[in-house]
Structure 1
Amino acid sequence: MTELLDYGGLVLAVAALAALTAGASKAGFGSGVAAVATPMLAMVLDPSVAIGAMLPVLMAVDVAAVRAYWRKWNSAAAWRLIAASTAGIAAGAALHSATDPDVFRIAIGGLALAFAAWQGARMAGWLVLPERPMPPRAAWLAGAVAGFTSFVSHSGGPPVLVYLLGLKLPKTEFLATTVLIFWAINLMKLPVYAALGFYKGGAVPLILWMLPFALIGVQLGLWGARRLPERAFFAATYVLLALAGGKLVLDGLA
């Protein structure tokens, strides 16, 4: 309890909000909105602590999704992307070991800005994803990029989405495949995060603090998906993501 209180009221409030956002996103609006949670938390914590704390929260929410889509995925596409993601995870671990926290702040902020721009371009119709199937070898590049961006800021969605949309999978199979891929990537990241020391000190009490808020977020996401205008919700979320990403980049450069 003492370790948790040492974080201070601001950190605990932001951590609760980040967990709520992640839970609501995955349950009601697609996992892409969860990308705002890590930059939000990294504004008030060391980046390593922020991404480390978010991982078990995201994994807890993922459990229900994996169960709901069990064995409805495209195994060939999923395992190609999962295997390729190991290279990206290794690259992320090497970057963390070789740099200081400010470089990670810039990386998290830069990915947040890129993700917000990518989603904004899609919403505005400026970016049209390919409709033709990509060759199997493209999965190795998409998976590696997804592994790296997921390691750095839990935002590996775009490369996976680009590849899978080209396969023109049925909706359920598409959703099940994305759920399996990121569940597996998150499982692989956990021991790497632990080996790099992301869970030393008071990280565990912070994670336990965040988990109930993530579960509340799941219920809010299910409620909001039925009531909130989807376009307005996403637009507001990506504006917040861009603001958080911009602040992290400025903090890292400063």
Structure 2
Amino acid sequence: MISAVSAGQGLGPLLLALTVTLFAGFVKGAVGFAMPLIMISAFSAFLPPELALAGLILPTLVTNLSQAFRQGIAPAKQTAWTYRRFLIGTVVFIALSAQLFDLIPRVAYLLLLGVPVTAFAALQLAGVPLALRLQHRTRAEWGLGVIGGLYGGVSGIWGPPLLVYLLSINAPKLEAIRAQGVVFLIGAVALLAAHLGTGLANVQTLLFSAALVVPAQIGMGLGYRLQDRLPQARFRRWTQALLVVTGLNLVLQALVA
């Protein structure tokens, strides 16, 4: 039974994956993102790349259902329409880039994710103004959606470009968290569909992924309690700081790979 649930990795890696997912769910509940970033960066240290990616698919899908619809169906639908350009770009390019998963070296995609995310968030923390000009908002939304989709198909992570966009337009806390939930939810459906096609998501890997749903949801519920107490300014700073840490972790993994 343990062998099946752990996709042949054994009890130790399974318990470690459950612990990582619990923490990642808590962070996501608190600030609205970073669960796939935390999971893929930690999983990559002790799991094969294909299992690390497959493992985050179902927890990401389920937790984003909760996040997207926390304020109800109508606000979620409105948010989906508001960020429709980002959503379209993300979904289309997840489907396309998923076909390249086996062709892109792990070091390359870790660096491609880690360097720009770290640079942007560090500059924001340092007080450097990087807000997008309002007249360029539509182009930025399309462009960042495409970038998110390109990353998402090969790494399971498409959040940083959305966070860059939300920080740049100074989106209010509740809108930012709901937008992340909606975009991440639709992206997670696209990622699952794409990798059902590539074969990366199969009975063995999805059983492992399903085992991680429970700790993800428990962590999410605990994180919600903290989120509700965070003022807007502190939420923004925590988001920036967490982006720096996760970006640096990705870069470090690439350098020691």
Q: TM-score with structure 1 length normalisation?
A: 0.80
Q: Once the 2 structures are TM-superposed, how far is the Cα of residue 232 of structure 1 from its aligned partner?
A: 7.5
User: Cα–Cα, structure 1 residues 50 and 71, in superposed 2: closer, same or farther, change >3 Å?
Assistant: same
Greater CA drift, 7-16 or 38-47: 7-16
Superposition map of 1:171-190 within 5 A: 171-190=173-192
Letter in 2 for 1:124: A
Residues 1:92 and 1:113: Cα distance change in structure 2 (over 3 Å): same
Compared CA separation, residues 125 and 75, structure 1 to 2 (3 A): same
- May I ask how many residue pairs the two structures share in their alignment? 247
Q: Structure 1: where are the runs of 5+ without partners? A: none
Q: SS at the partner of 2:201?
A: coil
> 3-state SS of the aligned residue for 1:130?
coil
Partner of residue 138 from structure 2, selected from 128, 133, 136: 136
Structure 2: tracts of 5 or more residues without a match: none
Residue matched to 1:4: 5
CA apart distance, 1:107: 0.8
Worse-superposed segment, 152-161 or 43-52? 152-161
> In 2, Cα distance between the equivalents of 1:178 and 1:133?
23
Aligned counterparts, 1:78-227, within 5 A: 78-97=83-102, 99=103, 103-126=105-128, 128-130=130-132, 132-164=134-166, 171-200=173-202, 202-225=204-227, 226=229
CA distance in 1, matches of 2:98, 2:199: 11
* Alpha-carbon distance between aligned partners in 2 of 1:75 and 1:213, rounded to the nearest angstrom: 27
| CA deviation after TM superposition for structure 1 residue 236, in Å | 7.0
1:48 maps to what in 2? 50
Q: Contact 1:134/1:166 (CA < 8 Å) preserved in 2?
A: no
User: Post-superposition shift, 1:140?
Assistant: 2.0
Which of 19, 22, 33 pairs up with 1:20? Answer: 22
Q: Larger deviation: 116-125 or 63-72?
A: 116-125
Decide which moves more: 217-226 or 142-151.
217-226
Alpha-carbon separation, structure 2, partners of 1:169 and 1:16: 32
Alpha-carbon deviation of 1:46? 2.0
CA RMSD after TM alignment? 3.1
SS in 1 for 2:55: helix
**For residues 182 and 240 of structure 1, what CA distance do their matches in structure 2 show?**
18
Query: Displacement, 1:45?
Result: 1.7
TM-score by length of 2: 0.79
> Quick one: percent identity of the two aligned structures?
21
